[in-house]
Amino acid sequence: MPYRKVEVDDLPDVPSPAREKTEIDEAVGATTFGCNLYVLDPGEPASFGYHKHPEHEELFYVLDGTLEFETEDGVWTVGANEAFFVPPNHAQQGQAIGDDPARLLAIGAPKVDDRPVFVETCSECGETGDREIEQRDGTFTLCCANCGAETGRFETT
C-alpha cells in the first residue's frame, strides 16, 4: 500500500542540538524530500552550525514561537504562521528567540542532497570552511575540517 499515515507524537526523537527533532519523512518513507519537526527552547539552534546545502532548498514554517535566521543577507526574524525559504547554496542558521519554545517544520528537497556544508570561521586557524561531526555517547563534537580544532559541542538527550 503506497499511502502511509503516522502519529507524529509517537515518532522517536533523533539526536540534534534542538530539544526535539522528529524525522517525519523517514517515518512515512518519503524519498524525494525531507520533512522534520523541531521543538527548540529559547536560545537553542535548529542545526549544528552556520551551513548551506549546495543542491538542496529549504522551507521553514514556524508553527509556534519565534526564530532568528542568520544569513549572508543579515538576520531574519520569523514568527508563528510565517515561512522562510532558503535557496540552494545559501548559508543560514536558525535559533529560537524570546521567552517561549518554538516549533517549526523544516522541509527540503532534493533529499539526496541534504548534507550540510558548514561555512564557519575557525577560531584556531582562521579558515572559513566545513566541519566534521563526531558522535559519542550522546555528545556531538564539531571540528574544523582544515586544522582539526574543536569548534562546538552539543549534548543530546
Q: What pLDDT, in 10s, does the model give residues 67-92?
A: 999 999 999 999 999 999 999 999 99
For 7-16, what is each residue's pLDDT tens digit?
999 999 998 8
Would you list the DSSP string of 87-136? Answer: -TT--EEEEEESSS-EEEEEEEE-GGG---EE-EE-TTT--EE-EEEEEE
Render the burial of 15-35: b for 16+ CB within 10 Å, e for the rest: ebbbbbbbbbbbbeebeeebb
What the chain holds in terms of domains, given with CATH numbers, is 10-115 (2.60.120.10), 119-157 (no CATH)
Reported as a pLDDT band with limits 50, 70 and 90, residue 141 is confident
Reported as a pLDDT band with limits 50, 70 and 90, residue 154 is confident
Residue 1 pLDDT:
65
Q: Would the pTM of this model clear 0.75, i.e. be above it? A: yes
Range from 22-31, 63-72, 113-122 carrying the lowest mean pLDDT: 113-122
Cell numbers found for residue 41: 527552547
Residue 113 pLDDT:
77
Which residue in this structure is represented by grid cell 543560514?
92
Between 65 and 122, the more confident residue is 65
Enumerate residues 6+ apart whose C-beta is below 8 A from 68: 75, 76, 77, 78, 94, 95, 97
In angstroms, rounded to a whole number, what is the distance separating the alpha carbons of residues 157 and 146?
29
Reported as a pLDDT band with limits 50, 70 and 90, residue 115 is confident
Reported as a pLDDT band with limits 50, 70 and 90, residue 157 is low
In angstroms, rounded to a whole number, what is the distance separating the alpha carbons of residues 38 and 22?
6
The pLDDT of residue 134 is above 60: yes
Enumerate residues 6+ apart whose C-beta is below 8 A from 157: 13, 19, 138
Sort 52 into a burial class: Cβ within 10 Å, 0-12 / 13-18 / 19+: buried
